[in-house]
Amino acid sequence: MTCSSRPLVVSTLFALTLLVLPASAYALTLSETLARVESRSSVVSARTELADAQTNLTRVTRDPLAVRADTLQAEQRSVLAEASLERTRDAAASELTSAYTGVLGANAQVELARQSRELSRRSLRVATIRLENGSATQLDLSDAQASLNEAENGLRAATEAQTLALGNLVSILGEEVKASDLEKISEAVIPELPPLEAALTSAERHPDLLGVKQQAALADLSAEILDPLYAAQAQIDTAESQRESAESALTEAQRSFRLQVRNLYTQAENARASLRLASSALQNAQTRLQTQKQRLDGGLISQIEFGQAQLTTAQADLEAENARSAYLNALLELQTGSLVPLGSPFSMEKAK
């Protein structure tokens, strides 16, 4: 073989290799989906606000004419912008995860509907054979046909729901993906529910509560810097009244916020309990399916009976998938509502 012909041979072999590769080897994981958090427009805006707030703080601290109120407000803006960025990232992660799990749930529903249609088709064939040999009636055949029609309608509805769920994810990602591209979420990657006290403590720096704290701090400073030597008593009394109102508002906001976090925590606990039950039910269904497969191989049950066991397992798998998604989404709602970190890939690193 001449040297000039080798590139042609290599190119041909490469092209043949591409032909035998699967049509699509792309798989989208939840971690890869969450990597899009930083590109979300809300996160970009929050990062911009933080950078501007930090620049302003530097400018104010270097200004020899800045007074205490100027410095405090600049510091507060920077701290609030940082907390807002963290909350915005958490909210984006929650939105992406909800869209991702929505497609997974729709996939499981479509699979269940397909198995249901296949079982109904088998049942119709059985009813037809039995009618022909005189062991069934026309009513049995009509019932089997009605069951098949219902199963086909169920599959159609499930497919439409899958299309909607996928469209939602695609619109968020800004890129085309297929429903089959998404990998299931292993329970091993789902974070543990953090302690309640950790969530309550972390909630103290939530921007919604932080804003009320900052208002109270400003009201306190406004009252502190007033002196009867240069301020009218009416002005001092007004400042004291505003400070008391701000402190009262802060106390109420803290009480309300702690209650909100406790509610989110309870929802996560309930979702975790549901997941444990659904996972146990799925394991039982899988065990029964294995038993039925052995009985089928041994000639002890019919194909229809085995198909029913398969359908029961698919139903248990759907319920486990939905429970897993519900628990994960409840965790992310808790993280967004309290800023308690769940760990990678669900907690985004703070901007430096």
Residues 249-298: pLDDT tens digits?
Answer: 999 999 999 999 999 999 999 999 999 999 999 999 999 999 999 999 99
The DSSP code for 298 is T
Same topology for domains 29-185 and 192-343, yes or no?
A: yes
Under the banding of pLDDT at 50, 70 and 90, the label for residue 8 is: very low
DSSP symbols for 24-58 = ----B-HHHHHTTGGGSHHHHHHHHHHHHHHHHHH
| Average pLDDT value for residue range 7-25 | 42
- pLDDT confidence band for 16 (50 / 70 / 90): very low
Distance CA 302, CA 309 (A): 11
Reported as a single tens digit per residue, the pLDDT across 86-119 is 999 999 999 999 999 999 999 999 999 999 999 9
Q: 């799990």: which residue's tokens?
A: 101
User: In angstroms, rounded to a whole number, what is the distance separating the alpha carbons of residues 285 and 290?
Assistant: 9
Whether domain 29-185 has CATH 1.20.1600.10: yes
Give strand pairing partners of 182: 28
Structure tokens at 214: 């900052």
The confidence score (pLDDT) of residue 24 equals: 46
What residue segments make up the domains of the chain, in order of their start?
29-185, 192-343
Residues 304-319 have pLDDT tens digits of: 999 999 999 999 999 9
Mean pLDDT (the chain) is 90
Whole-number Å distance between alpha carbons of 339 and 206: 6
Domain 192-343: which CATH number of 3.10.450.50, 3.40.190.80, 1.20.1600.10, 1.20.950.20: 1.20.1600.10
**Helices first, then strands: H and E counts in the chain:** 9, 0
Alpha-carbon distance of 171 to 230, in angstroms, equals 60
Distance of CA 300 to the CA centre of its chain: 44
Q: How many CB atoms lie within 10 A of CB 310?
A: 16
